[in-house]
């Protein structure tokens, strides 16, 4: 094959290039579907993940399956809250890198037929927030101490395009959701390890109530709720991924106002049969084959990327500054890997910043066969707004995004009385090792790393709630390095 190009003087010259052909029509179709399919999978992964999660958390079938498999899933019917009655612990191995600082309250909403009124009590003695997430894994609103204040209130949650009458006593101050399906993730702070304070937190979260607007202000009427059944309930099994994505996008179309316009992207994805109202069965066998390969390789890519992407400081990874709403900034790989796969959803930085670390100061993978230390010098703790009950914590996880099984020392929380001790210079040292330290000097605390498993790798998350702008905006606050102290055990 000869290509004609223009030389610097304007004359034509010939350039012989090696030939590469796809001899059969099916081959180019498969390769095109594979190449585009990688991008489509990254873009659409939240619809797969959330469709599966919603079915497990909100359908009768999901409840039965969770019980059969021994999964401690939070379960409540659509438009109802599940209230966790205890903090996350190693006894619960459901992934998602759970925090150990707050009681979770979760709910899946369907605002297609009717907006929902969220009622919250006065919460003035602790941290709390209710994060609101669209089906695309991007946040759209918050209710909580930082965002709406500590007073009691009733807040309207409505879907795209809703513009009805709002009754007296209901605040229509939240942005509209971009999708009819909405995940609410509430967090209620627990101030210490006493049963008394845990009961106080439970009493608060049980006053988070959901009422369809047509029932307000009366008790909600029982309503049948139908939850889409995904084609497979484990994202690791990619065989049904595309059909799940298509059906979930048909129910919850991307790019609906007030979201960013994504019409041209969806037209491109439709060329391989993916998107709202698309039918994968209409595509050729070659296209379906290419898409299946893309789903497998796309998931592998997301799993690698979920270990961190963003600004690196002393081995820790700040998240990208668009975390929480990455898709609204066309950053679809952050949305898929860090928001969805790595944690179900992610805070807006102004609410909370999570820094990850997977390596020590020598850039070696963290492993339970070594001992490490983290030293916060006096005056160099993570800065946060304590007037709104902001705080920070350091928590250890294994390679399956879970707390280390069997551990009783898996988090250090700046709010808790037992972590207020400091060394003579006002600092704190955290010892990270699988075995109990010989001694713990004043201002020192222990995080237990994996020590009895085949996979000894682990990572840490440093959470800063209601952070200072040096953490949430400029990312100039520097967390301390993880220093390895000895050779292998």
Does residue 11 surpass a pLDDT of 80? no
Q: How confident is the model at residue 184 (pLDDT cuts 50, 70, 90)?
A: very high
pLDDT digits (tens, 9 = 90+) for 191-214: 998 999 999 999 999 999 999 999
Residue % of the chain over a pLDDT of 70: 94
Distance CA 129, CA 180 (A): 21
Element (H, E) at 357: strand 352-357
pLDDT digits (tens, 9 = 90+) for 392-432: 999 999 988 899 998 999 999 999 999 999 999 999 999 99
Residues near 20 by Cβ (< 8 Å), separated by ≥ 6?
Answer: none
Element (H, E) at 242: helix 241-251
User: Among 364, 312, 384, 308, which Cα is nearest to 482's?
Assistant: 364
CATH 2.60.120.600 in the chain: give the residue spans. Answer: 312-484
pLDDT digits (tens, 9 = 90+) for 338-383: 999 988 999 999 999 999 999 999 999 999 999 999 999 988 999 9
Residues near 50 by Cβ (< 8 Å), separated by ≥ 6?
Answer: 135, 137, 181, 183, 248, 340
Q: How confident is the model at residue 246 (pLDDT cuts 50, 70, 90)?
A: very high
Residue 97: other Cβ atoms inside 10 A: 20
Residues forming a β-bridge with 103: 188
Does residue 151 surpass a pLDDT of 60? yes
Does residue 147 surpass a pLDDT of 80? yes
Q: Residue 19: what pLDDT?
A: 47
The mean predicted confidence, pLDDT, of the chain is 91
Backbone phi, psi, residue 94, to 5°: -110, 10
- The CATH architecture annotation of domain 25-57+228-305 reads Orthogonal Bundle (1.10)
Q: Which of 56-70, 82-96, 134-148, 406-420 has the highest mean pLDDT?
A: 134-148
DSSP one-letter code for 10: S
Distance CA 4, CA 301 (A): 38
3-class SS of residue 249: helix
Q: Residue 7: what pLDDT?
A: 42
The secondary structure of 99-136 as a DSSP string is -SSEEEEEEEEE-SSS-EEEEE----SS-EEEEEEETT
Question: Sign of the C-alpha dihedral, residues 232, 234, 236, 242?
Answer: positive
Does residue 223 surpass a pLDDT of 90? no
Peptide bond into 293 cis (omega under 30): no
Does residue 172 surpass a pLDDT of 50? yes
CATH 2.60.40.1610 in the chain: give the residue spans. Answer: 69-212
Does residue 17 surpass a pLDDT of 70? no
Mean pLDDT in residue range 34-55: 97
CB contact at 8 A, 485 and 363: no
Of 14-18, 182-186, 252-256, the poorest mean pLDDT is in 14-18
pLDDT digits (tens, 9 = 90+) for 311-329: 999 999 999 999 999 999 9
CATH topology of domain 312-484: Jelly Rolls (2.60.120)
Residue % of the chain over a pLDDT of 90: 79
Q: How confident is the model at residue 481 (pLDDT cuts 50, 70, 90)?
A: very high
Q: Residue 452: what pLDDT?
A: 78
CATH topology of domain 69-212: Immunoglobulin-like (2.60.40)
Specify the pTM: 0.89
Q: How confident is the model at residue 163 (pLDDT cuts 50, 70, 90)?
A: very high
CATH 1.10.3360 in the chain: give the residue spans. Answer: 25-57+228-305
């Amino acid at each position: 094959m000869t290509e004609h190009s223009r030389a610097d003087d304007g004359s034509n010259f010939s350039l012989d290039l090696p030939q590469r052909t796809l001899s059969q029509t099916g081959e180019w179709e498969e390769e095109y579907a594979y190449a585009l399919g990688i991008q489509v999978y990254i873009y659409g992964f939240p619809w797969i993940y959330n469709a599966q999660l919603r079915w497990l958390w909100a359908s009768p079938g999901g409840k039965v399956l969770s019980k059969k498999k021994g999964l401690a899933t939070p379960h409540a019917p659509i438009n109802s809250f599940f209230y966790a009655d205890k903090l996350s612990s190693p006894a619960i191995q459901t992934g998602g890198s759970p925090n150990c600082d707050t009681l979770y309250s979760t709910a899946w909403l369907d605002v297609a037929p009717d907006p929902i009124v969220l009622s919250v009590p006065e919460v003035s003695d602790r941290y709390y927030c209710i994060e609101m997430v669209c089906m695309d894994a991007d946040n759209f609103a918050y209710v909580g101490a930082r965002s709406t204040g500590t007073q009691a209130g009733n807040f309207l949650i409505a879907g795209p395009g809703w513009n009805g009458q709002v009754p007296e006593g209901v605040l229509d101050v939240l942005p509209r959701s971009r999708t009819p399906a909405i995940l609410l993730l509430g967090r209620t702070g627990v101030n210490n390890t006493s049963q008394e304070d845990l009961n106080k937190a439970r009493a608060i979260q049980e006053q988070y109530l959901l009422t369809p607007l047509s029932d307000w202000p009366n008790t909600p009427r029982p309503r049948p709720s139908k939850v889409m059944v995904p084609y497979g309930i484990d994202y690791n099994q990619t065989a049904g991924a595309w059909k799940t994505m298509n059906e979930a996008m048909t129910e919850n179309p991307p790019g609906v106002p007030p979201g960013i316009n994504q019409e041209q992207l969806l037209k491109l994805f439709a060329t391989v049969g993916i998107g709202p109202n698309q039918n994968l069965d209409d595509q050729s066998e070659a296209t379906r084959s290419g898409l299946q390969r893309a789903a497998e390789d796309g998931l592998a890519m997301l799993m690698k990327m979920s270990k961190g992407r963003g600004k690196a400081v002393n081995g820790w990874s700040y998240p990208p500054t668009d975390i929480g709403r990455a898709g609204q900034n066309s950053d679809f790989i952050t949305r898929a890997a860090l928001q969805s796969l790595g944690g179900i959803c992610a805070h807006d930085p102004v609410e909370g910043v999570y820094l990850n670390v997977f390596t020590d100061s020598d850039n070696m993978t963290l492993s339970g066969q070594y001992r490490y230390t983290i030293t916060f010098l006096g005056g160099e703790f993570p800065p946060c707004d304590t007037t709104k009950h902001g705080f920070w914590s350091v928590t250890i996880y294994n390679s399956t995004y879970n707390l280390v099984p069997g551990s009783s020392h898996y988090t250090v929380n700046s709010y808790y009385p037992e972590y207020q001790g400091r060394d003579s210079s006002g600092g704190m040292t955290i010892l990270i090792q699988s075995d109990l330290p010989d001694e713990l000097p004043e201002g020192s605390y222990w995080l237990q790393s994996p020590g009895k498993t085949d996979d000894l790798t682990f990572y840490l998350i440093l959470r800063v709630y209601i952070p200072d702008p040096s953490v949430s905006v400029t990312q100039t606050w520097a967390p301390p390095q993880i220093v390895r102290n000895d050779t292998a055990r």
